[in-house]
Amino acid sequence: MMVGVKQRYRYRLYPHPHQQVALAKAFGCARVVWNDALAKSRELYAADEKTSYPLLAKLCITQAKQTPERSWLSGPSNVVFQQSVRDLDQAFRNWWASLSGKRKGQEHQLRSGSRPRHQR
């Protein structure tokens, strides 16, 4: 087996109507959590405070569930919300890395014995 070969799988889902409702609720809640986390991270950035995944998860998931206007967030799985905040955190990391000029992909390093044989 070759190292570095990636495989891709393609799946199609055919959910039942009650599953469609549950998925729509989960996706909608994930979108709300993403938008809340984005607003909170912008607010913290404007105040020159550092943001991190645990802080955003605490502010946007745990504390939001305890407010009366966001009590409906208790319905779907918490994993959906955590992944939404993780995705936002990774998006910010990628954006900061692109600003700093970090190279995409693997680093190319010269090996010590990489000269041609006639030069050794």
Q: Print the domain residue range for 65.
A: 17-95
In a domain, 101, yes or no: no
Flag whether 40 is in a domain: yes
Task: Determine the average pLDDT of the residues in 3-19.
Answer: 89
| Residue 8 located in a structural domain | no
Structural domain tally of the chain? 1
Residue at 107 is within a domain: no
69 part of a folded domain: yes
Model confidence, pTM: 0.70
Residue 118 lies in a domain: no
Look at 36 and 120; give whichever has higher pLDDT. 36
Residue 44 is predicted with a pLDDT of 85
Is residue 60 within 8 Å of 85, Cβ to Cβ? Answer: yes
pLDDT digits (tens, 9 = 90+) for 38-57: 998 888 888 888 878 788 88
Most confidently modeled of 8-22, 57-71, 73-87?
Answer: 8-22
- What angle separates helix 78-100 from helix 17-46, to the nearest 10 degrees? 40
